[in-house]
Amino acid sequence: MIKRTLYFGNPAYLSLKDNQLVIRLPDDEQKGQGRTIPVEDIGVIVLDNQQVTITQGVMSAMLGNNVAIITCDAAHMPCGMMMNLDGNVLQNLRFRHQLDASEPLKKQLWAQVVAQKIRNQASILEKVGSSTGPLNFLARDVKSGDTDNREATAAAYYWSQVFSKVKPNFKRERNGISPNNLLNYAYAIVRATMARSLVSAGLLPTLGIFHANKYNAYCLADDMMEPYRPLADLVVIKLITEHGLIEEMGTPHKAEILKLPVLDVLINNEMSPMMTASYKTAQSLAKCFSGEARKLALPEIVN
């Protein structure tokens, strides 16, 4: 079942009753009444208002059901995430396999990730009517560990082209001008979805195969989300094509971005929502760590 993504951008009181999330808004006339949603239907919660109150019972139930809880700062950008500590019955065994993974294996896996990311970037450029340039060649030329840094070479070309029709000379910078703000938000949703899938698969999202920043608690999520980033780019392209450059995101813009987990990608030769696909990716990674498989299940963005 596809899990729901819930967004709270207005004041709300969130409580728990009979394993149902109870949502009460300030204008609810009947105290104790409110909309209810089964906890098992929820995959991601985004808290984007300083006046959202959430009970300990809700947080415990959400984390127990492997729901990713994303909190936003005063600027309405995601700034934190809470995850379940015990997401899979085989967690101990899979942690051991992950910790014991050899450097050659991790380098081979990273090469697969980078190659598929570049192929997906090429698909996005085709969708927007831009030349794919060197991307298809670069995807075929990724070496173990991406020692020649084909990812960066591809990124330089990709970002010079992907928004060229609406934002000439665009530079991808985290704190840069629009549409960087939209990209940041979209990537945060992809990251949360991937982190949730990794925990569900019994893996430790802190220990990456490539990313290794000691201040980053989600290095593995940052690794495995890479082929999914172009899907987020596609959502942002659609937004700015319809609304122009968006300096300040409103609820309608965020609502479009929050649809990311249900957008389809091709994985294992079948179409699956991104949330389902990310779990297949995580499961395939666990099998690679255990020696059961050598190839990752990665998403393809098809034209």
**Per-chain mean pLDDT for the chain:** 91
> Are 155 and 212 in a shared domain?
yes
| Cα gap 36→272, rounded to integer Å | 27
The tokens for 26 are 């300030």
The CATH number of the domain holding residue 228 is 1.20.120.920
Number of domains into which the chain is organized: 2
> Are 78 and 103 in a shared domain?
no
* Contacts with 78 (C-beta within 8 Å, 6 or more apart), sequence order: 46, 70, 71, 72, 184, 185, 188, 189, 192
Instruction: Examine the fold and report which residue of 82, 114, 146 is the final residue of a domain before the chain moves on.
Output: 82
Say what the pLDDT of residue 1 is. Answer: 63
| Tens-place pLDDT, residues 87-119 | 666 778 889 999 999 999 999 999 999 999 999
Q: Residue 11 sits in which domain range?
A: 4-82
Of 125 and 250, the structure prediction assigns the larger pLDDT to 125
Say what the pLDDT of residue 291 is. Answer: 96
Instruction: Examine the fold and report which residue of 82, 113, 131 is the final residue of a domain before the chain moves on.
Output: 82
> Are 142 and 253 in a shared domain?
yes
pLDDT surpasses 90 at 249: no
